[in-house]
Amino acid sequence: MSNICVIGVGYVGLVTGTCFADLGNHVIALDIVEKRVENLKKGILPIYEPGLKEVVERNVRAERLRFTTSYQEALKDADFAFICVGTPEGVDGEADLQYVRMAAESIAENMDHPLVVINKSTVPVGTGDWVAGIIHEKQPKPIPFAVVSCPEFLREGSAVRDFFSPDRTVLGSTDKEAANKVAQLHLPLRAPIMITDLRTAEMIKYASNAFLATRISFINEIANICEALGADVKEVAQGMGYDKRIGHHFLESGVGYGGSCFPKDVKALSYMAQIHGTEPQLLQSVMEINMTQRRQIVLKLQDILGDLKDKAIGLVGLAFKENTDDIRESPSLDIARMLHELGAAVRGYDPVAMENVQRTVPFINLAEDAYELASGSDALVIATPWNEFKSLDFERIKSLMKQPVIVDGRNLYDPLRMKAMGFTYRGVGRGYNGAMISSSGESHT
Ligand code: UGA
């Protein structure tokens, strides 16, 4: 059992702290936002994450998990302090490290015994050394400490599962003893543990996210070529994926990647490369292709409906992916903005993200469910692959829509079946099965 302090109760901090408590450790999670901490004490979570509430409740009841706004209280007995604060995008695409700096300063000012500081926030390569420098500088009197980088690989929507079944744990530090202590903490997870230096660990995180984003942009480029040549990208991806050297993961084409990680991290890596004199050609293309995917959806709508002014377009799904209420860099909302600029009447529905949308994108008219959304719509855009959208009652949908048009940005449906039901249907990269059918002169009214 270890005493752990987690700084920042956003996605990473709350999941990490809660799950370490569930492994039997004593965890105290700190946030500087008082309202968040007050809410957590009442059992109200700041995010929607499947399964997390139950684990929080279980560990609070067992007195292994507590919340505070006080650094003094959080660090009092801590063996480890995890920095899990946000690193939003700065002005030019570089990561904004103001919260990491504040956390490092507060640790320095409040620690009263030796401590291992673990950086989990995604930070530019070199930040671990910078954090160590800040702690040294701000300590009122010298107390030994070590900084270890331990990047997180949790996906929103499956973060609890990912925590307990990681593919690997990466630890970076020049202090072998500290790295070994952090390795011990992760042993119950039974995954390979790799110990390297600080900068390499930080780079592994960026390279992993950039590679996954590259796979998505790769398959999206292939999708666009499939459309032009009359092939079906879903089957192409499946056929590729059987090759063990390629695998099936992250080969789903669609509206492109979104969320709080891939867009920001690819941009930040590209920025780091440029300021150090390298030209990140591939990363630039990955980002460009990603934006093209959203524009393609609008172009398809224009191709089918003509001028979009005053057309009622329903966005089926608003979150950046399924099983989350997170709308940061959501492709659906980018599409909404483009449609809004073209004068369309934009409507939307999402199982859990609507409160967030209402607060931040007021021009989207929200519906109660997919059927209310369909009612009177000129077209539906499938933007988030929630399970509840996978088997809709299409006869009902068709009877409710003004025009039976579906642009499927997540390739959820079978193009031939949709056509047989009387829809004008366009997927992404479904050349033979989708685009060719709709572009062969068929009427959509
Ligand atoms: C991603 C990584 O997968 C995690 O390993 C990492 O820890 C996390 O970023 C982070 O850096 O914090 P996340 O952004 O939560 O996790 O979600 P993903 O499941 O990776 O999806 C990212 C985006 O790519 C979503 O918009 C998703 O819809 C899209 N995507 C994913 C595709 O378009 N195609 C795919 O085949 C897979």
What mean pLDDT is predicted for residues 33-46?
96
Which residue range is the domain that position 56 belongs to?
3-196
**Residue 177 sits in the same domain as residue 214:** no
pLDDT single digits (tens) 262-271: 999 999 999 9
- The SS3 assignment for 327 reads coil
**How is residue 243 written in tokens?**
């090759």
Q: Can you tell me the distance from the alpha carbon of 231 to that of 229, in angstroms, rounded to the nearest whole number? A: 6
What is the rounded average pLDDT for all residues in the chain? 95
209 lines ligand 1 (CB under 6 A): yes
445 within domain boundaries: no
Write the CA distances from 297 to 123, 172, 189, 334, 442, integer angstroms. Answer: 33, 42, 42, 11, 19
Confidence of residue 90 (pLDDT cuts 50, 70, 90): confident
What mean pLDDT is predicted for residues 9-13?
94
pLDDT single digits (tens) 186-205: 999 999 999 999 999 999 99
Q: Can you tell me the distance from the alpha carbon of 390 to that of 409, in angstroms, rounded to the nearest whole number? A: 13
Tally of domains in the chain:
2
Q: Residues 351-360, buried b or exposed e (16+ Cβ, 10 A)? A: bbbbebbeee
**Residue 30 sits in the same domain as residue 145:** yes
Query: How many CB atoms are closer than 10 A to CB 177?
Result: 9
Beta-carbon contacts of 161 under 8 Å, excluding residues fewer than 6 positions away, are 51
* Cα dihedral value 436, 227, 382, 10, nearest 10: 170
**How is residue 147 written in tokens?**
């900084």
What mean pLDDT is predicted for residues 152-158?
96
CA of 344 to the centre of ligand 1 (A): 29
**Residue 58 sits in the same domain as residue 26:** yes
Lowest mean pLDDT among 31-40, 53-62, 90-99: 90-99
Q: Of ligand 1's atoms, which has the minimum distance to the CA of residue 384?
A: 28
Q: What are phi and psi of 320, to 5 degrees?
A: -70, -20
444 within domain boundaries: no
Q: What is the pLDDT of residue 444?
A: 37
**Residue 292 sits in the same domain as residue 319:** yes
What pTM was computed for the model?
Answer: 0.95
What mean pLDDT is predicted for residues 24-28?
98
* 261 given a catalytic annotation: yes
Q: Of ligand 1's atoms, which has the minimum distance to the CA of residue 162?
A: 5
**Residue 188 sits in the same domain as residue 281:** no
The residue to mutate among 121, 163, 262, 287, having the most atoms of ligand 1 within 8 angstroms of its beta carbon, is 262
How many residues belong to the chain?
445
Q: Can you tell me the distance from the alpha carbon of 234 to that of 428, in angstroms, rounded to the nearest whole number? A: 9
179 within domain boundaries: yes
Q: What is the pLDDT of residue 89?
A: 84
Q: Can you tell me the distance from the alpha carbon of 106 to that of 73, in angstroms, rounded to the nearest whole number? A: 12
Q: Can you tell me the distance from the alpha carbon of 165 to that of 382, in angstroms, rounded to the nearest whole number? A: 31
What mean pLDDT is predicted for residues 321-344?
97
Instruction: Among 145, 163, 196, give the residue marking a domain's end.
Output: 196
What mean pLDDT is predicted for residues 366-382?
98
Beta-carbon contacts of 224 under 8 Å, excluding residues fewer than 6 positions away, are 292, 296, 429
Q: To the nearest whole percent, how much of the chain has pLDDT over 90?
A: 94
Q: Evaluate if residue 442 carries a pLDDT over 80.
A: no
Query: How many CB atoms are closer than 10 A to CB 136?
Result: 12
Q: Of ligand 1's atoms, which has the minimum distance to the CA of residue 321?
A: 28
Q: Can you tell me the distance from the alpha carbon of 303 to that of 299, in angstroms, rounded to the nearest whole number? A: 6
Q: Can you tell me the distance from the alpha carbon of 330 to that of 201, in angstroms, rounded to the nearest whole number? A: 28
Domain holding 232: CATH number?
A: 3.40.50.720
30 within domain boundaries: yes
What mean pLDDT is predicted for residues 417-436?
85
Q: To the nearest whole percent, how much of the chain has pLDDT over 70?
A: 97
Q: Can you tell me the distance from the alpha carbon of 426 to that of 431, in angstroms, rounded to the nearest whole number? A: 9
**Residue 189 sits in the same domain as residue 230:** no
Q: Whose CA is nearest to atom 17 of ligand 1?
A: 155
What mean pLDDT is predicted for residues 371-387?
98
Q: What is the pLDDT of residue 432?
A: 66
Residue 442, class by beta-carbon neighbours within 10 Å (0-12 exposed, 13-18 middle, 19+ buried)?
A: exposed
Is the CB of residue 255 less than 8 Å from the CB of residue 408?
no
What mean pLDDT is predicted for residues 140-154?
97
**Residue 188 sits in the same domain as residue 223:** no
Q: What is the pLDDT of residue 433?
A: 56
**Residue 52 sits in the same domain as residue 185:** yes
Q: What is the pLDDT of residue 333?
A: 98
Confidence of residue 164 (pLDDT cuts 50, 70, 90): very high
**Residue 230 sits in the same domain as residue 154:** no
Is the CB of residue 145 less than 8 Å from the CB of residue 114?
yes
DSSP state of 188: G
- The SS3 assignment for 361 reads coil
Q: What is the pLDDT of residue 441?
A: 41
What is the arrangement of strands in the sheet containing 3-7, beginning at the earlier edge strand? Answer: 65-68, 26-30, 3-7, 80-83, 115-119, 145-149, 169-172, 193-196
Q: Whose CA is nearest to atom 9 of ligand 1?
A: 261
Q: What is the pLDDT of residue 435?
A: 47
334 lines ligand 1 (CB under 6 A): no
**Residue 215 sits in the same domain as residue 101:** no
DSSP string, 127-166: HHHHHHHHHHHH-SS---EEEEE----PPTTSHHHHHHS-
Q: Evaluate if residue 440 carries a pLDDT over 60.
A: no
pLDDT single digits (tens) 56-70: 999 999 999 999 999
Q: What is the pLDDT of residue 92?
A: 78
Confidence of residue 318 (pLDDT cuts 50, 70, 90): very high
